[in-house]
Amino acid sequence: MSPRPGFVLEVDRSTPPTLYWHGERFRMERLPEGSRVIYAPEPLDPLGDPSAAIRHALRHPLGDKDPLPALLHPGMKLTIAFDDISLPLPPMERPDIRQLVIEQVLDMAADAGVDDVELIVALALHRRMTEPELRHALGDRIYDAFAPNGLLTQHDAEDPDALVHLGLTDQGEDVEINKRAAESDLLVYVNINLVAMDGGHKSVATGLASYKSLRHHHNPQTMQRSRSFMDQHKSELHSANWRMGKLIADSGVNVFQIETNLNNDAFPPAFNFLQKREWEWGVKDRLAYLGASKVLDRTPAKYARQVFHSVKAPHRMTSVQAGEVEAVHAVTTDNVWKQQGVVVEGQTDILSMGLPYISPYNVNSILNPILVACLGLGYFFNMYRGKPLVREGGVVIMSHPTPWEFSPVHHPSYIDFFEQVLSETTDPIEIANGFEESFATDPWYIHLYRTGHAYHGVHPFYMWYWCAHALQHLGAVIIVGGDPAAVHRLGFRVASTMADALEMANDIVGTSPTLTHIHTPPIFMSDVQ
Amino acid sequence: MKALVFERNLPRFAASRVASVFGSGRGAGIGPLQLLDALPPEAPDSDWFHLRPLLSGICGSDLATLDGRSSRYFEDIVSFPFVPGHEVVGVLDGGGVDYSGTVMAPGTRAIIEPVLGCAPRHIVPPCPQCGSGHYGLCGNLALGVISPGLQTGFCADTGGGWSAAGLVAHRSQLHAVPDGFSDEDAVIVEPTACAVHAALSGDIQPGDSVAVIGAGTLGLTTIAALHHLIRPATSCTVLAGAKHPHQRRVAEAMGADTVVPPDQLARAVRRQAGSLVLAGRLTGGADVVFDCVGSSESLSQALAMVRPRGRVVVVGMPAKVSVDLAPLWHRELTLVGAYAYGTESTTGPGGEPRRTFELAIDLVTQAGLGSLVSAAYPLDRYEEALVHAGAAGRRGAVKVVFDLRNRKGHNR
């Protein structure tokens, strides 16, 4: 039976309560009659033989690109860059897709007699990955062959000796990227596409760039002009990356892009109920839900977090394509839509969403309040094509405990951003003008980014900029079950129950509002007609 | 007439100390402080004048004494029984002469500068400190014509502000209340003088960053002193740690550039200084830190957030504290105390050095510090008043005073 497409349910009297993520817990909410609940398409069938598919893609590239074996020769300098820990979510079961692809590339390089090969984690300004995380992504064989010899490095956007300035785009944007990658005879980029935003020229132009380069598109103005940044053709973020990608290519950097699509099978069988439509829950699903809920309700959040972060996703690869960046990315984007696209008729007054424990920036860490905002308003709000799911002036209701809690190891600058910046203003433009540079150049954050496992000092700003379009668009944001102090610091409202939240929303959107709920997991993209 | 009298009574002292575990000031009813009938103290000679208090503040040092938390260091420079109250504005019913020799008519309101140095003690020649205008550092606090006592309010002979019977003050202690000053403005002058002295002790240089720990009366007046007296010449940046929301609001109103909860102050200082962190301490840090609390925790915090060769000014009265001094040694820090007041190096229009009290009176006007008086109680509600003062921050107050104007008291 082929996977069912996405579905928009209209809630009626017989509809069972709807499942909401609530951080490390779940909530069941009975939504008002007439509300809509959007369910993602079911997972697409995976490739039967991923390794064969990868080999085929490398030998039959798309666009104006020779097959990979033809690009490899003795004496050349080969660099393989790959996406970091932020993808996929949750981290996938072994073998990770990066391992499968890179093994094939390395085999071809070995066959061609290429000796000078280095691997680079395309971190941009994300935190450095730990050894266990790298072993998980690459497999022990690759890790042991490269890491001990210094041939597996993590991009350092603050090492002036490891960066090269390639020039300015026609819009005056600096393009400064990893020197080793830029000066290689061939740069192979290994991408995982979980959301439509990823991949394309963004892989190299962002993943291997410096702050000097990133600041041209990671800013509130760009985000406000990206409608949305999940829709490449209406995304100023992507336009800037495409300009930079063109300059990178014109500078002679030979990029061989490999992009992969995953299906949306995000949780193992024990959590099947998460991805099922509630009225289709069987006895096993009900028991699994009840068991999980009871245990989680009695488990301190800290331990529940550990349990969830140990979960590995059974994602499977549905396609792989390689070759010239734009040709590859066009196919990848189509495939993302095949897996994630749901057609939705019209906008809504209130958009509700349950936020999980994880986002791209807190794998093995805490979803702090800034990341809560970013996950809801940066990601889920922007998962649309056409127009936002919620109308201008509408309300977003998010469900998450939003504790005033941060990882000092991973998010040190987030703490100061939350304490010192958001206490002054929540306006993204004021924040950018008043505070960004001092955080970006703070030597302590730079030290922790370069030597520890901390996100760059400027990273919380980017998370807040991610929210800029939503903040500009919405009439109010309400967090159900959030810590009042933390929620108020974000500039949002807090409600103790969904009923209270709906009543509060009535003050903004009137007494008979329409409500649409994004049912996750898995994630999906709304094509709003 | 009634007065609150502090007697040397060890069982009551012990009871008060135990009660203070449940909150500062909680031992008022069972401790060594009692509301008794009292006569006005006798003036030792014609240089002393009788003052009838109008308002008298409750200071952190009063509470520490009442709670049995103050250092035994003070034992020999206090005489019992004494009437507390050294933050006093009162009326000279019989007139008097002020510190400058100006005659004050009967009915004149006056503030007392409570330090009992060589002049009130009629010690001639004065000790070197008094001789150079640093009365607070007087070496003769247990000698002379009056009993030991570092200040009015700790001396058996002078009386104190917590008394309807009044007190006696030496002419060198008296300052006329300026026209236009409310009683609230006047009663806040004494703690403001402490803050002014502290701010001037900071040796703050142009461009310095300054951190203030604590946002009670001393912390807030220190911020005001930094803003009005130091910042114009130095453009210093002032960061403050304040526990309670109203304290944060007032700290901002007093001129602090950044106000954060106390546990966030080190991070705010780190950000401001662009410092790194090593073993929980900043590698850089604030140029000057004012500790307006005086506890083990606040001193440790101060030492952890000041830059190498920086200066920590202890403003809040400490007792016996436990502090790791390794950073002081290793980072060559300067730890200085700032007690009371005297004569400052700041000069007046004629080039003469100014007394701290004169500067404080100006600052009270400039910064509107009388507004810090949050609650006033009659003497007979002293237990309530002391509990309120002990929990001032938590209860949204700053300065709690006794109102001896035959009013029932008020809460702002």
- Shared domain check, B162 and B13: yes
- Shared domain check, A372 and A237: no
Per the domain annotation, does B342 fall within a domain? no
- Shared domain check, B162 and B224: no
How many C-beta atoms lie closer than 10 Å to residue A120's C-beta? 24
> Residue A236 sits in a domain of what CATH number?
3.40.50.11440
* Angstrom distance (rounded) from CA A494 to CA A515: 18
- Shared domain check, A238 and A348: no
Contacts of B249 (CB under 8 A, 6+ apart): none
* Angstrom distance (rounded) from CA A520 to CA B153: 69
Which of A203, A229, A262 is where one domain is finished? A262
- Shared domain check, A118 and A35: no
Q: Is the pLDDT of residue A338 over 60?
A: yes
**Contact criterion met (CB below 8 Å) for B324 and B300:** yes
**Contact criterion met (CB below 8 Å) for A332 and A61:** no
Which of B337, B371, B391 is where one domain is finished? B337
Tell me which residue of B344, B297, B289, B287 sits closest to B315, measured CA to CA. Answer: B289
Whether residue B271 and residue A420 make contact (CB cut-off 8 A), yes or no, is yes
Residues in chain B with CB shorter than 8 Å from the CB of A416 are 267-268, 271
* Angstrom distance (rounded) from CA A467 to CA A488: 16
Interface test with B, best of A422, A444, A489 (most B CBs within 10 A): A444
* Angstrom distance (rounded) from CA B25 to CA B62: 9
**R_g (Cα) of chain B, nearest Å:** 20
Per the domain annotation, does B198 fall within a domain? no
Contacts of B30 (CB under 8 A, 6+ apart): B12, B15, B16, B19
DSSP, collapsed to helix, strand or coil, labels residue B50 as strand
Tokens matching residue B176: 């006329």
Number of domains in chain B: 2
A355: burial class by Cβ within 10 Å (0-12, 13-18, 19+)? Answer: buried
* Angstrom distance (rounded) from CA A379 to CA A384: 10
Q: How are beta strands B209-213 and B258-260 bridged, if at all?
A: unpaired
Tokens matching residue B246: 């109203």
Tokens matching residue B339: 């007690």
The pLDDT of A121-132, averaged and rounded, is 98
Per the domain annotation, does A519 fall within a domain? yes
- Shared domain check, A131 and A230: yes
> Residue B298 sits in a domain of what CATH number?
3.40.50.720
Per the domain annotation, does A313 fall within a domain? no
Per the domain annotation, does A216 fall within a domain? yes
The pLDDT of B312-319, averaged and rounded, is 95
- Shared domain check, B249 and B324: yes
DSSP, collapsed to helix, strand or coil, labels residue B402 as strand
- Shared domain check, A96 and A31: no
* Angstrom distance (rounded) from CA B155 to CA B78: 6
Print the domain residue range for B266: 203-337
* Angstrom distance (rounded) from CA B238 to CA B268: 11
- Shared domain check, A94 and A32: no
Hey, what amino acid is at A336?
V
Whether residue A416 and residue B268 make contact (CB cut-off 8 A), yes or no, is yes
Per the domain annotation, does A287 fall within a domain? no
In this predicted model, what pLDDT tens digit does every residue of B342-358 receive, in sequence order? 999 888 888 889 999 99
Q: Side by side, which strands form the sheet with A317-323?
A: A152-154, A116-121, A77-82, A186-193, A255-262, A317-323
Residues in chain B with CB shorter than 8 Å from the CB of A437 are none
- Overall size of chain B counted in residues: 412
Whether residue A420 and residue B260 make contact (CB cut-off 8 A), yes or no, is yes
Hey, what amino acid is at A285?
D
Angle at B305 between CA B303 and CA B306, to 5 degrees: 70
Name the helix (H) or strand (E) containing B250.
helix B245-254
A424–chain B Cβ distance below 8 A for any pair: no
**Average pLDDT, whole number, for chain A?**
96
- Shared domain check, B54 and B164: yes
- Shared domain check, A156 and A226: yes
Per-residue model confidence (pLDDT) at position B9: 81
Q: Helix B10-19 vs helix B60-67: angle between axes, to the nearest 10 degrees?
A: 110
A279: burial class by Cβ within 10 Å (0-12, 13-18, 19+)? Answer: exposed
Tell me which residue of B216, B273, B269 sits closest to B242, measured CA to CA. Answer: B216
Q: How are beta strands B2-6 and B103-104 bridged, if at all?
A: unpaired
What sign results for the dihedral spanned by CA atoms B292, B295, B298, B304? positive
- Overall size of chain A counted in residues: 529
- Shared domain check, A179 and A31: no
Per the domain annotation, does B260 fall within a domain? yes
Tokens matching residue A147: 């890491």
Per the domain annotation, does B195 fall within a domain? no
pLDDT classification of A502: cutoffs 50, 70, 90:
very high
Interface test with B, best of A405, A409, A419 (most B CBs within 10 A): A419
Tokens matching residue B300: 């440790």
How many C-beta atoms lie closer than 10 Å to residue A293's C-beta? 16
Residues in chain A with CB shorter than 8 Å from the CB of B249 are none
pLDDT classification of B399: cutoffs 50, 70, 90:
very high
Interface test with A, best of B252, B257, B271 (most A CBs within 10 A): B271
Looking up tokens 């509107």 gives B368
- Shared domain check, B364 and B257: no
**Contact criterion met (CB below 8 Å) for B159 and B86:** no
Per-residue model confidence (pLDDT) at position B352: 87
Looking up tokens 């004048």 gives B49
**R_g (Cα) of chain A, nearest Å:** 22
- Shared domain check, A518 and A446: yes
Print the domain residue range for A448: 7-42+340-528
Per the domain annotation, does A478 fall within a domain? yes
In this predicted model, what pLDDT tens digit does every residue of A67-97 receive, in sequence order? 999 999 999 999 999 999 999 999 999 999 9
Residue A281 to residues A13, A274, A430, B305: CA-CA distances in angstroms?
A: 17, 10, 48, 57
Per the domain annotation, does A80 fall within a domain? yes
- Provide the chain B residues 240-299 that lie in CB contact (below 8 A) with chain A: 258, 260, 264, 267-268, 270-271, 274-277
Residue B302 to residues A135, A393, B156, B226: CA-CA distances in angstroms?
A: 44, 48, 36, 17
Per-residue model confidence (pLDDT) at position B71: 86
Whether residue B268 and residue A419 make contact (CB cut-off 8 A), yes or no, is yes
In this predicted model, what pLDDT tens digit does every residue of B17-26 receive, in sequence order? 888 888 888 8
Which runs of consecutive H residues, i.e. helices, occur in A405-478?
412-416, 428-440, 443-451, 459-466, 468-473
The pLDDT of A508-524, averaged and rounded, is 95
List the single residue in A with minimal CA-CA distance to B248.
A423
Q: Is the pLDDT of residue B279 over 80?
A: no
* Angstrom distance (rounded) from CA A238 to CA A154: 24
Q: What is the 3-state secondary structure (H, E, C) of A252-269?
A: CCCEEEEEEEECCCCCCH
- Shared domain check, A226 and A96: yes
* Residue among B258, B271, B276 whose CB faces A447 most closely: B276
* Residue among B258, B268, B277 whose CB faces A444 most closely: B277
Q: Is the pLDDT of residue A1 over 80?
A: no
* Angstrom distance (rounded) from CA B260 to CA A415: 13
Query: What is the nearest CA distance from A403 to chain B, expressed in angstroms?
Result: 17
- Shared domain check, A103 and A209: yes
Per the domain annotation, does B345 fall within a domain? no
- Shared domain check, B168 and B28: yes
Per the domain annotation, does A38 fall within a domain? yes
* Angstrom distance (rounded) from CA B393 to CA B388: 9
* Angstrom distance (rounded) from CA A8 to CA A13: 16
**Contact criterion met (CB below 8 Å) for A395 and A508:** yes
Q: Is the pLDDT of residue B406 over 70?
A: yes
Which of A262, A281, A303 is where one domain is finished? A262
A442–chain B Cβ distance below 8 A for any pair: yes
Per-residue model confidence (pLDDT) at position B412: 53
Per the domain annotation, does A300 fall within a domain? no
Pairs across A and B, CB distance < 8 A: 27
**Contact criterion met (CB below 8 Å) for A154 and A138:** no
Q: Is the pLDDT of residue A188 over 80?
A: yes
- Shared domain check, B152 and B50: yes
Contacts of B154 (CB under 8 A, 6+ apart): B65, B74, B77, B78, B79, B82, B84, B86, B160
pLDDT classification of B411: cutoffs 50, 70, 90:
low
Q: How are beta strands B33-37 and B2-6 bridged, if at all?
A: antiparallel
In this predicted model, what pLDDT tens digit does every residue of A381-411 receive, in sequence order? 999 999 999 999 999 999 999 999 999 999 9
Which of B308, B337, B366 is where one domain is finished? B337
Query: What is the nearest CA distance from B256 to chain A, expressed in angstroms?
Result: 14
Per-residue model confidence (pLDDT) at position B410: 59
Per-residue model confidence (pLDDT) at position B22: 82
Tokens matching residue A337: 């839509």
Name the helix (H) or strand (E) containing B132.
none
A416–chain B Cβ distance below 8 A for any pair: yes
Range with the lowest mean pLDDT among A147-161, A334-348, A477-491, B28-42?
A: B28-42
Per-residue model confidence (pLDDT) at position B190: 98
* Angstrom distance (rounded) from CA B326 to CA B335: 13
Residue B151 is classified by DSSP as B
In this predicted model, what pLDDT tens digit does every residue of B75-115 receive, in sequence order? 899 999 999 999 999 999 999 999 999 999 999 999 999 99
> Residue A470 sits in a domain of what CATH number?
3.90.226.30
- Shared domain check, B76 and B140: yes
Tokens matching residue B385: 């008043």
Per-residue model confidence (pLDDT) at position B180: 94
Residues in chain B with CB shorter than 8 Å from the CB of A454 are none
Name the helix (H) or strand (E) containing A104.
helix A97-111
Whether residue B268 and residue A444 make contact (CB cut-off 8 A), yes or no, is no
Per the domain annotation, does B344 fall within a domain? no
Which of A262, A289, A307 is where one domain is finished? A262
pLDDT classification of B408: cutoffs 50, 70, 90:
low
Q: Helix A97-111 vs helix A50-59: angle between axes, to the nearest 10 degrees?
A: 50
- ipTM for the whole complex: 0.76
Which of B305, B337, B369 is where one domain is finished? B337
Residues in chain B with CB shorter than 8 Å from the CB of A442 are 271, 274
What percent of the residues of chain B are helix, what percent strand, and what percent coil, each to the nearest 5? 35, 25, 40
> Residue B148 sits in a domain of what CATH number?
3.90.180.10
Number of domains in chain A: 2
- Shared domain check, A469 and A398: yes
